[in-house]
Chains A and B, each alone.
Chain A
Amino acid sequence: MPLFDSLDLEVMSHSFAAIAEEMGSILVRGALSPNIRERRDSSAALFDARGAMIAQAAHIPVHLGAMPEAVRAVRLRRPQPGDVYILNDPYNGGSHLPDLTLVEAIEDGGEIVGYAAVRAHHADVGGMSPGSMPQGATELVQEGLVLPPVRLARAGVVDQEMLELILANVRTPEERRGDLRAQIAACAAGAAEWRALRARESPERIDAAGKALLDYTERRARTEIAALGDRTGRATDVLEGDGVTAEDIIVAAAVSLRDNLLHIDFTGTSPRVAGNVNCPLAVTRAAAVFVLRTLLDEDVPTNDGIARAIEIVAEEDCVLNSRWPSAVAAGNVEMSQRITDVLFAALGDAGLDVPAQGQGTMNNITFGGAGWTFYETLGGGQGASSQGGGPSAVHVGMSNTRNTPIESLEVAYPLRIEEYTVRNGSGGAGFFSGGEGVLRRYLALEACTVTLLSERRRHAPRGMQGGGAGEVGRNMLNGVELAAKCRVSLAAGDSLSIETPGGGGWGEPVSNS
C-alpha cells in the first residue's frame, strides 16, 4: 500500500490549513499593537522540512508569495532543531523593515521536520522617522533596524541579549516585546500541532501528503492557465515619484500564457530609484502570485504550488529587483500595488476578462508624537468588472487590513477622527461604476509628525472596456493640498484630511437620453 493515497488529499489539505489558521489566530488574539490585533497586518504559514510552503492562513496578499523567501534565508543559516530566527532584511528573506518575520525550525526526534513562520507589521522598528515608514529615505539603514536572519530563541528559551538589542533600537520597545511574544507563541503552537499531526498520521505519510498537495496545487494552477488559452499582452503604468522626486517611475510588464505557465517579463521597467519605492524580488513575486491567485478558483489551496506556475523576468537592479543598499519601505506597500495594476492591465490587453483598476494605493499614514507612534492604511474604491460595480471603501490588491475603530484610536492616541465617510461620486462612471473611496479627517490634539506614502494622487485608476477613471485621491492639511508622499509637522488643532481614490468603471456608461 502506498504511503499516501491521493484520495486523502482533501483530508490533508484541511489538516495543514488548520495549523496555519491556529497560528494566525493566536497571533491576532495575543498581539498588543493595533496594527496587528485590530488591523491584522500579519500572516502565518507552515512549511515542510525542505522549506516548501504547504499552507498559509488567508490574511494579507503581499505576504503571500514572500514568506517562502524568509524560510529559505533561515535555512541557509543552518538552524538547529527548535531554533527560532527573526529577520526583516528585505535582501535576506524580508519584505520591508517593519515586517518582522519569525521562523521556528520545528524539532521532532532531534531533527528539523518543518518550519512555522509568522510575519507581522510592527508599528516601529527605528530609523529616521516614527513608524519606520519614512518618506525620502534613500538608504535601507535610514528606514530602521536591519535584521538579517538571527537566532532569537533556542530550545524554547529567548536570547535576552538579542531581544534587548532589538528593543534598544525601536521607539516603542514594550509594545514590540508584547507583539514578539505573541509571534513566538504562534510559532510554538504551529510547531506543536505539526508534531502532533506527524505522530498521528506517521511522518512518512505526512511528508508524502505535503508533496502531493504541492503537486496538486500546481496542477490546478496550470490546468486553469491552460483553460485560458495561449495569449500575450502588455501594459505600462507609473508610480508617482519615489518620495525624493515626484518624477514618474515606469512599471512595464509583458505577460504570456503558454505551456500551462504564466510568464511575466518586467523588461522596460525603470531602474532602481533613489527613494524607497524599490522592491526586492520577493515582493515582486508576491504581487505576481496574488494576480494569478485571483484567476484561480477560490478553493485552490494557498501554498507554494501556485508560485511554481509562474516565471518572472526582472532585470537586475531595476526598481522591481532592487539591491542593497536601496531603501524599500514603500515598495512593499505602494509599488506592489502598481505591479498588480500593471499585470491586470496586461492580462486585459491579452483579452482576459479582468476588473478595472482599483484605488491602487494603501494610503499609508504614520503619526508620531511624544512616546507614541500610530500607523494605519485606508481602503478605497475597487474597480468595476463585467460582473458588476466595484466594491466601495475596501482595501484592494496587496492589502486587506482592517480599519482602526475610531473609539479605539481616540482612547489610545491624542487624535480625533472628525469625519470618516464614504467619498460619494469618486468611483469611475461606466456600465458598472467603480467603487467609492473614503474620506478620513484627523484632528491633532497634540503636536506630532505625519508621514504620508500614497499614490494615485495624479494618475487616476483607469476604467476598463470604456469605463471612466476613478477620482484621484487627495491629502489636505488645513485645506492646503499636500504631496502624495511627504512628512509634515502638525500642531494641536491642525486638521489632516485624506480622500482615497475611487475605482475605475467598467463598460460604456448608459446615456440617460
Chain B
Amino acid sequence: MTGSSVGVDVGGTFTDVVSIDDDGDVVARKVLSTPTDQSDGVIAGLRALGIPPAQCARMVHGTTVATNTLLERNGARVVLCATEGATSLLELRRQERASLYDLTRHHPPALVPPDRCIAVPERLDARGVVRALTRGGAEYVASRVGELHPECVAVALLHSYRDPSHEHELAQALHSSLGGVDVILSSDVLPEIREYERTATTVAEAYLRPRVARYLSQLADRLKADGFPAPAVMTSAGGMRSAGEAARSAASLALSGPAGGVVGAAAVLRLAGFADALTIDIGGTSADAGLITGGKPLVESGGDVAGVPIALPRVLIDTVSAGGGSIGWTDAGGALRVGPRSAGVRPGPAAFGLGGVNATITDAHIVLGRIQARRMSGGITLDIAAARRAIEALAGKLGATVERTATAMIAAADAAMARALRRVSVERGVDPRRCVLVAFGGGGGLHACGLADQLAIRTILVPPFSGVLSALGLAMAPERREGMVSVMLSTEALGASDVAALARQLSQRAGAADDPEVTREWWARTRYVGQGHELDVPFTAGDDGASIARRFTEDHHKRLGFSLDRPVEIVSSRHAVTGQAREPRLRRAGGSEWSANSMLDTNAPLDVRISGLAVVTLADSSMLVAQDWTARALPIGGWLLEKNAG
C-alpha cells in the first residue's frame, strides 16, 4: 500500500490528527473538537494536515461515539430474548449494591427495561437439552418481539456458550418475522460461561450497533465526498477494523480512543529499544494507566464501561480522576485533598484566566516554575499571578507555604496515579521496578519523575509526539480480527490434534485478514478446576493440553505467588489475527540554538544530557527533570530519563 496512513483521535477538547507517509515521516496537528457532530472536527483536522486526499491511503479513527452512547444512555431500542425463568438478569446484575456505604445509591439503569425482556420457552443445562425450543415456541417469541418494535434484538439463552442451537433456531424465527432488524446472539458475541456478563455484553452490542453504524456511514460519506478513503476504526483491543466490520462489533469500540494511546506508547517504546513498560496518559480531568509487556499492550477480557459490563478483549486501561484540572481543597478533617473534582477545560485552572479560581494541579506546576511556556493550545495565555493567588488561598487554610502546598498537591495526584499503575502491574505479576515508565499526554512529562520515584522505577520515556500519541497509535494500528469459542474441557482431555483443531476452528471464526503478512496468536482462558478467575495462556497449534497446563501453572505462580496440584481446565479460547503495523520513522532534527536558559525540545541537539532540577519545554507541554534524574535527548525524538546511581 502506498500513501499516508492517518490517525484521527477525537477527544473532549481537541481532535488530534497524525499522518505517517510512505517514508515513515510523521506530521501532527491539533484542532478543536466539535461535540455536536464529531465528523466536522475530523474533516477540519484532515484539512489542517494539508495532505491531498488522494495521498491518504487509509484513515484510522479513534471514536468516542460508543462510549458516549453508553454514558448518555441514548442507544437503540433493544428487545432481549432470554430463557424463561431468567428474564431479569440485567436487573439482578451480580447482586452487589452500587455503594457499600451509601444506601440510597442505585446502579445505572439497565440498557433494556424489564418490559422489553421476552421469555423464551426452552432450557439447556450443563449436560444437554432440558426443554427443547419448539418451532411454535420460537414463532410465538418472534411475534411478541415484533409487537415491541425493536431497532435491534438481543438473544441470550442459558448455557448457549456450549450449545448455540436454540439461539440459532430462535434467530431464524426472528429473521423471518422481523425482516431487516438485526438479531444479535450471545453465542456469537461472547461464547463464554457466566450468563450475566454474556447477556450484558450482547445487549450492549445491540444497543450500540445502530447508532455506531449510522455515525460511521455518515462519516464515510463525508470523507468520500472530500475524496478521502473510507475510515477504519480502532477497537478497544488496540486493533484496526474497517468501518463496515466495526459497525458489526460496536461493543468492541467502547474504549476506542484510550487504546490508541497505549498502542502509540508501545510503538515508541519498541523504537527506543525497550519491551516492558507502564504507561500513563495524563490529561485535564483524568489519567489512564496501562501496561505493555514484550513490546505489546496487554489485552484482557472484561470490565465495565459507564456501568455496563462489556466482557470483550480490551487494552488494559485503569482510569483515575487525576489530571491538570484536578482541584486541591481541604476537607472537614483539615487534610489537603486533590480531586476528584476537576476544573476541566472551562473554567479550567486559575492560570487560564477563564474565570477559574480554584487551585488546580496545573496552577501548582506553574507556581513551582515547571511550566515556562506562556501560551498554550487554544490561544490561552497563562496568568501566573492568578495561579499564585489560587494556591495562596489554599495554603492559607493549611497554614503552609505556597511552595509546600503546591508540592503536596502534586504528590497527592501522583499517589492516585501510582495506585492505578500498581493495580495494572502488580495484579498481573509484573514488578513495576522492572518497567520503563512511558509518560505522555499534557501532564505526562511533569509527573513522570514523581511517579517513577513512588514506584521505584529508574527509567522513563517521554515520547515524541507526547501530546498526540493516541493519534500516532491510530495511524500505526495494524488490522486486527478476533475470534472466540467456548471450550470447557480439562487439559488432560486435550491431545495435540484437539489443540490443532481448536486453533483451526478459531482461525475460521476470526476470518481472513486483508493483509497477507499477519501474526496469529491464540490464548486459552485457563484455570484450576473449581477456580472462578482465568488466566489467558498463549498457545499455538503445536501445543497439547499438557503443555498448556504447564504454562498455566508457571503463570499462576508468577501472578498469584502459588500453584496447586489440581487438574487444569480451559474455559474458552480466543484468537487474534494481526496485520503489520505502520511503523513510523521517528527522528530528532537536532537543534542548534540550545541553551541552558531556554530549554526547548525542538532545539535540543542529539544526545544532549540534562541533570535535574531542570524544565524542558515540549510542544504543548513541559517536562520536569527532577533532582537525581538525568535526561537525554533521544535520536527518535522525545527523552529518556534515568535515575542517577546511588
Q: Chain A residues in contact with chain B, CB under 8 A? A: 5-15, 17-18, 21-22, 25-26, 28-34, 37-38, 58, 61, 174-175, 177-178, 181-182, 184-185, 188-189, 193, 196, 200, 216-217, 219-220, 223-224, 227, 290, 293-294, 296-299, 355, 358, 378-379, 382-383, 385, 387-388, 391-396, 400-403, 405-408, 410-412, 416-422, 438, 441
Alpha-carbon separation in the docked complex, A290 to B96 (Å): 16
CA distance A480 to B456 in the complex (A): 64
Q: With a CB–CB cut-off of 8 A, which chain A residues contact B158? A: 406-407
**Known interface pairs A22-B427, A219-B333; A422-B101 also in contact (CB < 8 Å):** no
Q: In whole angstroms, how far apart are the Cα atoms of A338 and B447 in the complex?
A: 49
> Of the 9-residue stretches B36-44, B104-112, B306-314, which lies at the interface with chain A?
B104-112
Nearest-Cβ distance from residue A300 to partner chain B, whole angstroms: 8
Most chain A beta-carbon neighbours within 10 Å: one of B159, B333, B408, B418: B333
Nearest residue (CB) in A for B119 is A421
State the CA gap A69–B88 with chains docked (Å).
Answer: 40
Per the bound structure, the CA–CA distance linking A355 and B337 in Å amounts to 29
- Residue of B85, B97, B193 touching A407 (CB-CB under 8 A): B193
Q: Are A410 and B125 in contact (CB under 8 A)?
A: yes
Q: Given contacts A394-B96, A402-B95, is CB(A196)–CB(B456) below 8 Å?
A: yes
Give the bracket for the number of chain B residues in contact with chain A.
35 or more
Please name the 7 residue pairs, one residue from A and one from B, whose CB atoms are nearest each other, closest first: A37-B532, A7-B408, A14-B415, A185-B561, A403-B95, A387-B104, A419-B85
Pairwise interchain contact B85-A418, C-beta atoms closer than 8 A? yes
**B129 at interface, CB cutoff 8 A:** no
Contact residues of B between 493 and 525, Cβ < 8 Å to A: none
Question: Are B560 and A30 touching (Cβ within 8 A)?
Answer: yes
How many angstroms from the CA of A21 to the CA of B561 in the assembled complex?
A: 16
> B561: nearest residue on chain A (CB-CB)?
A185
CA–CA, A392 and B105, complex, Å: 11
Q: A391-B105, A420-B88 are in contact. Are A29 and B415 (CB under 8 A)?
A: no
Chief secondary structure at chain B's binding surface: loop
Ordered by A's residue number, 17 sampled pairs between the chains whose C-beta atoms are within 8 Å are: A5-B408, A7-B405, A14-B418, A21-B419, A181-B564, A184-B562, A216-B334, A216-B335, A217-B333, A290-B101, A379-B95, A388-B106, A391-B105, A395-B97, A401-B96, A407-B193, A421-B92
On whether A395 and B532 interact (CB within 8 A), knowing A219-B334, A224-B332, the answer reads no
User: How distant is the Cα of A220 from the Cα of B331 in the complex, in angstroms?
Assistant: 9
- Decide: B335 and A9 in contact? CB cutoff 8 A: yes
A189 to B418, alpha carbons, bound, how many Å? 17
Nearest-CB residue, chain B, relative to A17: B419
- Establish whether residues A407 and B423, one from each chain, have CB atoms under 8 Å apart when the complex forms: no
Asked if B336 contacts A178 (CB within 8 A), the reply is no
A298 touches B102 (CB 8 A): yes
Cβ contact within 8 Å between A421 and B194: no
Chain B residue nearest to A358 in the complex (CB): B103
B167 at the interface (CB under 8 A from A): no
Most chain B beta-carbon neighbours within 10 Å: one of A30, A34, A296, A385:
A30
- Per-position binary interface string of chain B over residues 62-87, scored 1 when its CB falls under 8 Å from any chain A CB and 0 otherwise: 00000000000000000000000111
- Say yes or no: is B374 at the interface (Cβ < 8 Å to chain A): no
Q: Are A392 and B91 in contact (CB under 8 A)?
A: yes
Contact with A along B282-309 (1 / 0, CB 8 A): 0000000000000000000000000000
Distance of A184 Cα from B415 Cα, bound (Å): 27
Shortest CB-to-CB span from B431 to chain A, Å, is: 10
* Nearest chain A residue, comparing its CB with the CB of B83: A406
In the complex, the answer to whether B560 meets A294 with C-beta atoms within 8 Å is no
B94 near A396 with CB under 8 A, answer no
User: Is B591's CB within 8 Å of the partner chain A?
Assistant: no
* Shortest distance between the CB of A215 and any CB in chain B (Å): 9
Is A223 a contact partner of B332 (Cβ separation < 8 A)? yes
Q: Is B122 an interface residue (CB 8 A)?
A: no
Q: Which residue of A lies closest to B117 (CB)?
A: A421
